Amino acid sequence: MTLSLTTRLFDARDAPHVVALINEAFNGDGAGNKGWTHEAEVMSGNRMDEQRLAMIMAPETVQFLVFEHPECSQSGGLAACVMLKHLPETCEAYIGQLSVSLRFQGKGLGNFVLQRAEEWAAQRWGVTGTTMTVLNRRPELLQWYSRKGYTETGKIEPYHAWRLEGGRQAYFDDLMLIHMAKRLG
């Protein structure tokens, strides 16, 4: 990866930019452009708003890493972000909301962000593994994470689409969250 990136922790000024980045990565840019990670065939509406972001960020065990790039001045400088939640009872970190701007998708930035998140969690919290959940109707993401060393744990739970402004609605009644895990080190 040859992109010029700065990695840092989220701060409150990033909130509107993180919300916009997550919604762009998962919904498209509003002009019909969608990245390969979009959920348009699975559900409608925005994935994130500032209220939900504040709720996610409330526990002290949660951190967001943000990745700045000089070409992203319109989005607060953010090219990517990822959420980490420390799970001390299992010596793991949960990884979620991994989002890459459409401009940088397909260029290795998602791989870089995932690696950096794993490294950060191991160094900061001393975790020995990472976990995540992926929608069952997103086989391309399940395959991508499998190529990165994640395996399905066998745990599957129903996905209950939350209601946000804009009316986020699931198109399928059988949406499930597939749990995946990876041992670090």
Per-residue pLDDT reduced to its tens digit, 75-124? 678 999 999 999 999 999 999 999 999 888 888 999 999 999 999 999 99
Give the per-residue pLDDT at 52. 86
Mean pLDDT, the chain, integer: 86
CB 3 within 8 A of CB 107: yes
Evaluate whether 26 touches 32 at the Cβ level (below 8 Å): no
Residue 97's H or E segment, with its range, is: strand 92-100
Q: Tell me which residue of 106, 102, 104, 59 sits closest to 84, measured CA to CA.
A: 59
- The model's pTM: 0.89
Q: Would you place residue 72 in the very low, low, confident or very high pLDDT band (cuts 50, 70, 90)?
A: confident
* Residues 118, 124 contacting (CB under 8 angstroms): no
pLDDT at 120: 97
Residues 136, 12: contact at Cβ < 8 Å? no
pLDDT at 163 over 60: no
d(CA 158, CA 144): 22
pLDDT value at residue 144: 96
